[in-house]
Amino acid sequence: MTAVLEAAGLSKHFPGRRGFFGGGDHGVVRAVDEISFIVESGKTLGVVGESGCGKTTTAKLVLGLETPTGGCIRFDGRDLAGLDKSGRRHYRKSVQAVFQDPFASLNPRMRIDAIIAEPLTTNETITPDEVRRRVLKLLDLVGLPSRSADLFPHEFSGGQRQRIAIARALSLSPKLIVLDEPVSALDVSIRAQILNLLSDLQAEMGLSYLFIAHDLAAVAHMSHDIVVMYLGKIVESGDAHSVATNPRHPYTQALFSAALPSHPEEVREEIILTGEVPSPLRPPSGCRFHTRCQHAMPRCSTDEPASKSVSGRMVACHLY
Amino acid sequence: MSVTTLPSPIAESRPDRPVAFWKGEGFPLIPVLILLTIAFVAIFADLLAPHDPQIGSLARRFRPPAWQHGGSMEYLLGTDHVGRDVLSRLIFGARVSVIVGLAAVFVAGAIGTLLGIVSGYLGGWVDQVIMRLTDTWLALPALTFAIFLAAIVGPSEFNIIVILGGVYWTRYARVIRGEVLSLKEREFVRLAIVAGCSKRVIMWRHILPNVINSAIVLATLMLGVVIITEASLSFLGVGVPPPKPAWGLMLADGKKGLMVGYWWLTVLPGLCIMGMVLSANLLGDWLRVKLDPQLRQL
Amino acid sequence: MPNEPLLSLEHLSAHYVSQQGRRVVRAVDDITLTLNAGETLGIVGESGSGKSTLALTILRLLPPAARIVSGRMMFEGEDLLDKSDAEMRRVRGKRIAMILQDPMASLNPLFSIGDQVGESIRVHEGASRASAWTRAIALLKSVRIPSPETRVTQFPHEMSGGMRQRIVGAIGISCEPRLLIADEPTTSLDLTIQAQYLNLLSDLQKEHGLALIFITHNLGIVAKMCDQIAVMYAGRVVEKGPVTRIFNTPAHPYTKALLNSIPRMSDNRQRLTAIEGQPPDLASMPPGCAFAPRCAMAFDRCRVETPPEFILDEGRTARCWLAAPEAEAETVPARSAMA
């Protein structure tokens, strides 16, 4: 298994407002705190978690929209921080993105062919004929008719726009695509179309995906592996199917039990968490989840649990 | 038993025929016609004006308009204090108003939009510097400042355009900067960064085309302000220099005659100014409502 | 003798008319639904299905461009369409309450929580500010907001999203309504917060004997919370009935396709069954059944004639030609259209 992308001890701390909440270390928001994960070639890594867990920041770090304050990201074995200009350019070509809102992802004043071709024309010198040829091929790949190339975004529906966004992401033949909530803004009946498309493209082109979504079933369905994040930390990671059906970390258990059933007679153990998500400015000491955890022990409030291997996956919890 | 399917109370929907935009709701037909007329008159002034606007004969001064006692068809709207035909002066005055108005609005718009985009997108110290500059500029009273500058550099059509442009760019900068601030958070800008586009390319290709609509709306609204300022400058004698006809100048010249009943010397140029400014404002209002909702949907 | 249903919509239609009458959007078309006291009904549909418009129609809160063109809305035996504006104001909040998707937009940032929760009570029951305040504290406690005595003086921006949504819920039940309509109440909430909130709604329902209408695009919420389900497509109800039976044996092709297209936790990376095509544009609908262009089982009649609602068995209907029995057809009796 070759790793396409590897994060090791990755951190992103933002300076918080001084004295705003009072008490404790109020200077820093630890949006992402020493996380490590691997995206394997041709596979999908799903990231789940609720608001404030740091999954959006992780996506931005991978895309180079933010720079890490600690740890590193390695792509094809090379540390991103140490890349020179051509190295960075190579990275940009290899990692692309599809975002949540299909209505904001396309420049309303640009034609579809220009939108899809932009990454291509920005990074390579290429004749207009060749550009056109590739745009038409990409449109075909995502299931849109070739006459779409000369139209403007407003003539397309949400699902079609997302296909255009995917075509654009594919234009440089990247190795990894970051999918940040790619179907949440779409109608339910359209989601399956897009998820199928993404699966097909992965099989055909050997793409890797970093799939971020709050719809647990969609993530579990699409991913080979999953990481579960809480307040900037990874609490559990491993094979998607086993994490989804047999979660080990108390938070993961609560999360997956909170997922809505797919049938009225589905029996599920109800784990209702008490309290609110703590503020990322003042994360709880020791294990960050201990304030809401049913199984909390005295140790949990003092020592941060290390990630241990449990039943074939990594869990950060003192229970193990 | 027979099949009883009662007719469902669902009527068939009528097909949606597209409607030409000028027949749409709220289209300001009359203001647009007025503006088009003024533009037409300005372009074809040479052909339309019955007399030379700058030459008059003192024997024929203060002739009233044709429909009044003492007026004649030769001087349809009467003559002024040196016997020049009012109608011809109004026609050539339109040229000045249109040229100065459009040019000044364009200059102000270009400067303001550029600074607004740069300031909004780059942020940081560039933003701070430009915004403080804008604040300072805005603090100066526009008309007074324009008069001051005109008095220094001397009146000429070109100078007036530059001065008006230089005074009114601040409104653009503020509004455009606000739009840019929210635009740059939009996903398509992020995706352009991810695609590797440089900041300059992003500002030109992604930001500018999406603020043009606002710039256009602002332009129509600013047109009125600029025309009034130009008229005020002419009225005060520091605008377009005589004997070139300008509506504001005609107002200044004509005010002496108000007391003795020579109403056409002030009311008619006043009506022209009002017509143009009001039409521009109404058009701007309609454009804002028409273009804004689409902007919001994007 | 069966009890009279709490809410009964009969052939209700509401249209948006614009451009001097040239464009007619049939946002809500021929809706027939019943809801008994204490029951939960889930109205499921995607964008453009008309589900939110239906909620507004029931409360007669449609914008001026919309008109209720036909049908009846019977609530506790009275036709809501017969009521004057003043009478409707007495209904809203007191007998029928509604909670909306975005809690931040539902709360006024300038007023304290206590003032907002007590507002309905003051308006409908003429209570004094002091007694409304006390009731507000009790209500906050019943929606499980910790330390309600302090919270009641605070302002919306000091609360988290989950708490705000619970406050909105408290406002909803403040005057003990018989029916609560919830329009996508959990879309903006995190999963674990959503679970807390749905549990709360269930408990409140049992405590107060509320009937609940959930308007949502999320079949999971319906599976968890509802007794009855009505599936809407292009402004019409295409299928309705008890939840379990519809999940087990959906009759309408749209319902079937929808249930099949949703990813499940247990299946790993299998292909989903997608529904081809796009939801229809309500302003230019094809003749016949609205779902026909996307239906795998459509035949000629579907594209020509709009199917009426066929009664399948007790409490179940489906608007589909496939449901029409060969010899007999029982349909929901139509009323003649009234202006």
- Quick: pLDDT tens for A246-305: 899 999 999 988 888 888 888 777 787 777 778 777 888 888 888 888 888 888 888 888
Across the interface, whether the CB atoms of A99 and B187 are under 8 A apart is answered yes
Q: How many CB pairs under 8 A join A and B?
A: 59
Which SS3 state, helix, strand or coil, does residue C327 take?
coil
Helices and strands: H and E segment counts in chain A: 9, 12
Asked if residue A109 is part of any domain, the answer here is no
CATH of the domain at A17: 3.40.50.300
Tens-level pLDDT at each residue, chain C (339 residues): 357 889 999 999 999 887 666 778 888 999 999 999 999 999 999 888 889 899 999 999 888 888 888 999 999 989 999 889 899 888 888 899 999 888 888 889 889 999 999 888 888 888 888 999 999 999 998 888 888 888 889 999 888 888 888 999 999 888 889 999 999 888 878 888 888 889 899 999 998 889 999 999 889 899 999 999 999 999 999 999 999 999 999 999 999 998 888 888 766 667 788 888 888 888 788 888 999 998 988 888 889 989 998 988 888 999 999 888 764 445 565 544 333
Q: Which C residues 239-258 touch A at CB under 8 Å? A: 243-244, 247, 257-258
In a domain, B22, yes or no: no
C262 reaches A (C-beta below 8 A) = yes
The structure tokens 């020592």 sit at A303
Chains adjacent to A (≥3 CB pairs closer than 8 angstroms): B, C
The top-scoring range by mean pLDDT among A89-103, B225-239, C259-273 is A89-103
User: Per-residue pLDDT tens for C13-45?
Assistant: 999 887 666 778 888 999 999 999 999 999 999
How many domains are there within chain B? 1
H or E element in which residue C71 lies:
strand C66-75
Q: Determine whether the interchain pair A104/B197 forms a contact, defined as Cβ–Cβ distance below 8 Å.
A: no
Flag whether A125 is in a domain: no
| Backbone region of residue B59 per phi and psi (left: phi > 0; alpha: psi in -120 to 50; beta: other values) | alpha
Structure tokens at B159: 């100078």
Q: Does B20 touch chain C (CB under 8 A)?
A: no
Nearest to C190 among A51, A160, A272 (CB): A51
Q: Do A260 and C221 touch (CB under 8 A)?
A: yes
| Burial of A203 per CB tally in 10 Å (0-12, 13-18, 19+) | exposed
Nearest to B197 among A65, A106, A122 (CB): A122
Q: What is the pLDDT of residue B11?
A: 32
Do residue A64 and residue B194 have CB atoms under 8 angstroms apart? yes
Chain A residues whose beta carbon lies within 8 Å of the beta carbon of residue B206? 107
Residues 6+ apart with CB under 8 A from A92: A64, A123, B194, B195, B196
Residue B232 burial (CB < 10 Å; 0-12/13-18/19+)? middle
Other CB atoms within 10 Å distance of the CB of residue C92? 18
Q: Is residue B55 part of a domain?
A: no
The verdict on residue A263 lying in a domain is yes
**Whole-number Cα distances in Å, A14 to A36, B187, B229:** 19, 22, 49
User: How many residues are present in chain B?
Assistant: 298
Q: Please report whether residue B195 resides in a domain.
A: yes
The answer to the question of residue A122 being in a domain is: no
Give me the residue from B188, B196, B201 closest to A107, CB to CB: B188
> Which chains touch C (3+ CB pairs under 8 A)?
A, B
Instruction: Tell me whether residue A190 is in a domain.
Output: yes
Tell me, what amino acid is at A89?
Answer: R
Q: What is the CATH number of the domain that holds B170?
A: 1.10.3720.10
DSSP code for A273: P
Between β-strands A313-316 and C40-44, what pairing exists: parallel, antiparallel or unpaired?
Answer: unpaired
In this complex, do B186 and A104 lie within 8 Å of one another by their Cβ atoms?
yes
Residue C244 makes CB contacts below 8 A (sequence gap 6+) with: A264, A265
Query: What are the two backbone dihedrals, phi and then psi, of residue C331, each rounded to the nearest 5 degrees?
Result: -120, 160
Domain annotation covers residue A133: no
**Structural domain contains residue A151:** no
Our measurement of the distance from residue B170's CA atom to the centroid of its chain's CA atoms, rounded to an integer in Å, reads 16
Backbone angles phi, psi at C43, to 5 degrees: -105, 115
Q: Chain C 185-224, CB below 8 Å of chain B: which residues?
A: none
Q: Kindly report the pTM of this predicted structure.
A: 0.83
In angstroms, rounded to a whole number, what is the distance separating the alpha carbons of residues C28 and C236?
Answer: 6
A37: helix, coil or strand?
Answer: strand
Banded pLDDT at A195 (limits 50, 70, 90): very high
Looking at the domain that runs over C7-263+290-323, which CATH code has it been given?
Answer: 3.40.50.300
**Residue span of the structural domain in which A72 resides:** 3-103+174-316
CB atoms within 10 A of CB A240: 26
Could you tell me if C232 lies within 8 Å of chain A, comparing CB atoms?
A: no
Residues recorded for chain C: 339
B-contacting residues in C 5-24 (Cβ below 8 Å): 11, 13, 19, 22-24
Write the Ramachandran bin of C275: left for phi over 0, alpha for psi from -120 to 50, otherwise beta: beta
CA distance B290 to chain C (A): 15
What pLDDT does C332 receive? 60
Chains that touch B (3 or more CB pairs under 8 A): A, C
Q: Is C47 on the interface with B (CB under 8 A)?
A: no
Residue A111 in domain: no
Domain around B89? 27-45+84-297
**Which of C 197-226 lie inside 8 A of A, CB atoms?**
199, 217-224, 226
Cβ-Cβ contacts under 8 Å for B198 (sequence gap 6 or more): none
Q: How far is C329 from chain B (nearest CA, A)?
A: 6
The residue among C196, C165, C199 whose CA lies nearest residue C182 is: C165
Q: Which residues of A touch C270 (CB under 8 A)?
A: 221
Instruction: Say which amino acid occupies B209.
Output: P
Asked if A50 and A234 count as a contact pair (C-beta separation under 8 A), the reply is: no
Question: What tokens were used for A313?
Answer: 């996956």
C81 touching A, CB under 8 A?
no
> Would you call C69 an interface residue with chain B, using a CB distance cutoff of 8 Å?
no
